[in-house]
Structure 1
Amino acid sequence: MSNIFEVLRRLDSELYFYIDQFGIYIYLLLFLIVFGKTGFVILSFLPGDSLLFASGAIAAVGELNLIILFLLFFVATSLADSNNFFIGSTFKKIPADKNFLAKLIPQSSIEKASDFLHEYEKVAISFSRFIPLMRTMIPFIAGFTGHSYSNFVRYNVLGALIWTLIWLGSGFGLGNIPWVEENLLFTLALITMIMFIPSIYGFLAHFHRKNSAITKNSES
């Protein structure tokens, strides 16, 4: 079992090797990994952005089919977030006395999450997949708080399209550069660092707004 998890964890950095090992079935494995990462909170450790980038880079040298990859990743992430949404809505239907999740999460926190999704619906759902952890939590919370699925799926599909185009396209565009091909591990490490920039920016922006509000209240 530990060997399986090791394969999944290192798939993005050793994709060339696993293409030789699995042949055409590598497409099925890629689909399952992307689906699992965003479809189940407990599998958030699986590679995501870096896997799309690596796949695009390898497609650029003709080892994988770009069109198949695009359809595969787009469908996988769209279905996965819907799956996560329905898991959240299922938990919501469980009676409060038997719902361990409802006991762990204060009602006030659920209400705040619901208000946040209502106020920032388009941005929160469409771009949460670019932020680690949030990509799995937002769909779950949307379902758990009773958010409209018709609205969710609309922005979810938009976000899946943007996410797939950016990461797969970046890999494909840079894959023809010899340095990127020869230093794929370093490139993936750099991509991983870039993934945290939106989180850091969001935190700093929130911190600045909070300090500004405190300053205005103290002056008034």
Structure 2
Amino acid sequence: MTGPLLAVDPTSGSSLLATFGALAVLVVVFAESGLLVVGFFLPGDTLLLPAGVLCAAGTGPGPHLSLWQVMVCAAVGAVAGAQLGFLLGRHGGRAALAHTGNPRLRSAAARGDALLRRYGYRKAIVLGRFVPLVRTVLSPVAGMLGVPTRTFTVWQIVGGVLWSQSLVLAGFWLGGAVPGIDHYLWALVGAVVVLSLLPLLLRGHGRSGDR
């Protein structure tokens, strides 16, 4: 058992799903939804969509997952991870951020801060779920900024459920509508990465244009 576990790539959604199934969805989404440093490098979007595809896969080779298990694991991981990230941010998040030397992490935290201030708590908490990198730091940043616990909890549940379930169901639909798509998960993951980074790229282009 040690050999296969050591061969698992924790940054690869396909590798994690093949080895751990729905449990990978729970653990990765939990970490990616609010745990600074650790969750920052884990796949989120690139895990949920392929997981949905594998739920709809036929009887061919490869892992096959249960839709209800994946949906429950995705929702629980998204909600619990964000809530823990919020609590950690409120009780020591600034110190953790000050000690990190990762420029991408600092940049993502700044974007999360700007998102909360620009759009208000409720809208930013929901929209932030759909933006890579920001998704991981938004909960701790909300804790640092003193967002009311009730407000954060209600809207992070709304955003977490919308994000996680929509991606799983989109993958499930693709898996049923496109025969054999489970054989092209690498291409699908690549497309998800490009689409998920598009908001950040467009935002960066808009800033450079403003100058």
Bin the TM-score by the shorter chain. Answer: 0.7 to 0.9
**2:32 & 2:7 partners in 1: Cα distance?**
13
The structure with the largest alpha-carbon Rg is 1
Q: Which residue of 2 aligns with 1:161?
A: 161
Separation in 2, partners of 1:185, 1:115: 33
Partner of 2:33, secondary structure, is helix
Match of 1:55 among 51, 57, 74: 51
Cα offset, 1:75, TM superposition = 1.2
Matching residue's letter, 1:188:
V
Q: What is the alpha-carbon distance in structure 1 between the residues aligned to residue 69 and residue 114 of structure 2?
A: 38
The answer to whether the aligner puts 1:39 opposite 2:34 as a matched pair is: yes
Kept after mapping to 2: 8 A contact 1:82/1:139 = yes
1:218 aligned residue? none
Measured against aligned partners, the alpha-carbon deviations of 1:144-191 in whole angstroms (never above 9, x if no partner) come to: 111111111111111111111221111101112124222111111111
> Which residue of the partner structure matches residue 70 of structure 2?
69
Aligned length: 195
Kindly provide the CA deviation profile for residues 111-133 of structure 1, in whole angstroms up to 9, marking residues without a partner as x: 99767525412221112122121
Match of 1:124 in 2: 124
- What runs of 5+ residues in structure 1 fail to find an aligned partner? 105-109, 212-220
Identity of aligned residues (%): 24
Whole-angstrom CA distance in 2 between matches of 1:184 and 1:53? 9
Structure 1 length-normalised TM: 0.75
What SS does the aligned partner of 2:159 have? helix
Post-superposition Cα deviations, 1:66-97, rounded to whole Å, max 9, x if no partner, equal 112111101111110111111110016x9xxx
Compute the TM-score of the two structures, normalised by the length of structure 2. 0.78
Asked whether 1:28 is paired with 2:30, we answer no
Distance 2:123 2:207 in 1: 15
Structure 2 CA distance for partners of 1:30 and 1:182, relative to 1, 3 Å = same
CA contact (8 A) 2:34 2:135 kept: no
Distance 1:15 1:60, change over 3 A: farther
* 1:143-158 matches, cutoff 5 A: 143-158=143-158
Q: Secondary structure of the residue that 2:203 maps to in structure 1?
A: helix
Change in 2 beyond 3 A, CA 1:69/1:115: closer
Q: Which residue matches 2:135?
A: 135
Partner of 2:61: none
**1:191-206 alignment to 2 at 5 Å?**
191-205=192-206
CA gap 1:203/1:178 in 2 versus in 1, 3 angstroms: same
